[in-house]
Structure 1
């Protein structure tokens, strides 16, 4: 039973202070078990209320609340808005989906979110527009391997299955053939994305109607089975027009992964991790930027701190000289805000370990926000390869800034890494 005044539609903001929301015990426990929020606990000062605090996951989900009697459950709708403008969220998302294209096109490489200021309507609009563009030349078809029992022979007889199932009698015949059909992984993924959004309240009426139309166009594609991995597809010349829509649809469906966790609550909706989006943006943009100077970069490059190779290190990005073997810089992206004008010391300790293991004079920490200018810390007692000691740099990117300013900041950092700014960074 829902208590009087209990909330069924909850709106929160990323990393905002905890908010007291009227919820009954069953709803509070379901929300805590879902893993959607960073913190869920009973409000010690107000009966019938729970303190809810969102972390770095943003998006919209429906959380099922089991009832005391089977079949009497209900659902909570939870929306978490990013602290940055929605258009900036989609700028970061565009980079994470296709860094090379987004780097080339800059502002024009962002995802079209329309005029919507909330995450759910904006994403629904973007997905529908991408699907429409993919299907503009018609629904893609391809060959799919089919095995079945039939009354006539088509393709190849599966002899082993024929003997095992129908020894001594025909028909039916066990056959295998390649069918030319619209039921291919690409169409299944696009249909699943449309259906995921159609299950959520809060999608604007015009967008909902267009999504329903796209679902009809994809009706020949079989729906995906909940709990199974997304079908694999291979980029090719034939599906080039589908690729932008597929990348966005996969990002949406990957953000729905809580529903695929065995033994846990099934959630309808999507959640984007701002930590991952920021890291993907910084590393993807820097990788493209250093290439302009003849350098290369590897993401999540594996190294070890000790000679026994027991302590693993995986910095977000390691830049290499044109020879492809000599490291020239290490970068770690941190989606954090500083506290009292200072960033956590453990970030500096981590970067010092990276520089020590890689034999570098400089390391760079890139933060998502900051109220102070960039800083440089000269570490005592650490003579680097050139004998001038190790310097740890802290940079702050203001995500509210124009995309061209964000990219210009990363271009400047890439030039420093490559030594193209007159600084002997390499």
Structure 2
């Protein structure tokens, strides 16, 4: 299937079809009235691949080229680095045109680079029962569990080990990728090698939260791999749990293109506006009405250097403009943002459009609404230049840029 493409009729049993519909993976999933045992599946903004137990593998291809998608992903993972390295395009996708093989290749290359100097070790607090004393005795546990008798002894100590949060995340990502459909055989073999290198690391328990790690000088060589690994681990395996039945797990990996585009626009503009001495807040929360019952949250609010005064508002829309070039609901939303924030203008940024810029003067309000369009098929340097152009447009009419 193709992102936001036409519906596809696929053979699915009733249980798998209902599970897929409930998982929220697709825009819609309904029984096909014209073919028994088939479901009509329509993709939305999620792209990737999922495997239905006992059913087919569903692959949803993005409208954006895969290499460009990974460029956009950089702004979600590490904004500062993405802005510095944007013109070089540092993510190696191996020349794959499909999302899952490209993702698996990129993650394996990053993990291989992280482990070239050896598996990172660190201190981890261990609490256990032992026949000898090591570290400190946990007196409360000793009394509660053994009534003061020894041995065994309840002890706690700091172990210098490879079983760290960073290595657990990398191993879990490798194991997730090995289960994904569509990973090329050469990449699968290299992933299996990385799993062997991380063999002394305990696997993560499925369903538990990812272990937390802190960026530091010691794990700097791990950080690119860790960010991609976390994308893998947070990108799939929804579960459908009908009442009184065992869960049906849908293995796979998915990107939400809506979120990816929003992150690219807001983070990229924030970094560009810093060069003009301005600050910006993402997902800035405000009250629409005086009673505070209705909230609103623009994607980006540009503020003065001290962060106090709103100067401009921006909302990202992963949409393509209509034939007449107008998206009325979006214009009404932008007008509400400008009115509540006391601004003379508001900006909407779309993923595609017939014109790079449209300006609408609101009758009787003295407010201008700007519609910007970006072509995501452009090379990275072209996208960065377009963002810099929007940032300049934002500063032109500010009261004190």
**In structure 2, do the counterparts of structure 1 residues 110 and 82 end up closer, same or farther at CA, with 3 Å as the change threshold?**
farther
| Aligned residue runs from structure 1 range 225-244, under 5 A | 225-244=205-224
Q: Point out the more displaced range, 324-333 or 114-123.
A: 324-333
Calculate the aligned-residue CA RMSD, in Å.
1.9
- Once the two structures are superposed, what CA deviation does each residue of 1:237-261 show, in whole Å capped at 9, x if it has no partner? 1111111111111011111252598
Show the counterpart of 2:178: 198
Q: Point out the more displaced range, 124-133 or 159-168.
A: 159-168
Show the counterpart of 2:310: 327
Show the counterpart of 1:53: 42
Show the counterpart of 2:93: 113
- Once the two structures are superposed, what CA deviation does each residue of 1:80-119 show, in whole Å capped at 9, x if it has no partner? 1101111111111112111111111213244211110000
| Aligned residue runs from structure 1 range 403-418, under 5 A | 403-418=380-395
TM-score, with length taken from structure 1: 0.89
| From 242, 252, 255, the counterpart of 2:235 | 255
Per-residue deviation, 1:320: 1.2
**In structure 2, do the counterparts of structure 1 residues 139 and 31 end up closer, same or farther at CA, with 3 Å as the change threshold?**
same
Matches of 1:239 and 1:132, distance apart in 2 = 14
- 1:80 matches 2:60: yes
| Aligned residue runs from structure 1 range 279-318, under 5 A | 279-318=262-301
Show the counterpart of 1:25: 14
- Once the two structures are superposed, what CA deviation does each residue of 1:175-222 show, in whole Å capped at 9, x if it has no partner? 011111111110000001100010123111111111001111111111
Q: Is the CA contact (8 Å cut-off) linking 1:287 and 1:297 kept in structure 2? A: yes
- 1:365 matches 2:348: yes
Q: Point out the more displaced range, 21-30 or 289-298.
A: 21-30
Matches of 1:156 and 1:267, distance apart in 2 = 45
Show the counterpart of 1:16: 5
- Once the two structures are superposed, what CA deviation does each residue of 1:49-97 show, in whole Å capped at 9, x if it has no partner? 2211000111112222xxxxxxxxx243221110111111111111211
Q: Point out the more displaced range, 26-35 or 318-327.
A: 26-35
| Aligned residue runs from structure 1 range 349-364, under 5 A | 349-364=332-347
- 1:245 matches 2:225: yes
Using CA pairs under 8 Å that are at least 6 residues apart, name the structure with larger relative contact order, 1 or 2. Answer: 2
Per-residue deviation, 1:396: 0.8
Show the counterpart of 1:144: 124
Show the counterpart of 1:35: 24
Per-residue deviation, 1:424: 6.5
Show the counterpart of 2:359: 376
Show the counterpart of 1:8: none
Matches of 2:257 and 2:61, distance apart in 1 = 11
SS in 2 for 1:108: coil
Show the counterpart of 1:5: none
| Runs of at least 4 residues off by over 6 Å | 260-263, 422-425
TM-score, with length taken from structure 2: 0.95
Q: Is the CA contact (8 Å cut-off) linking 1:376 and 1:394 kept in structure 2? A: yes
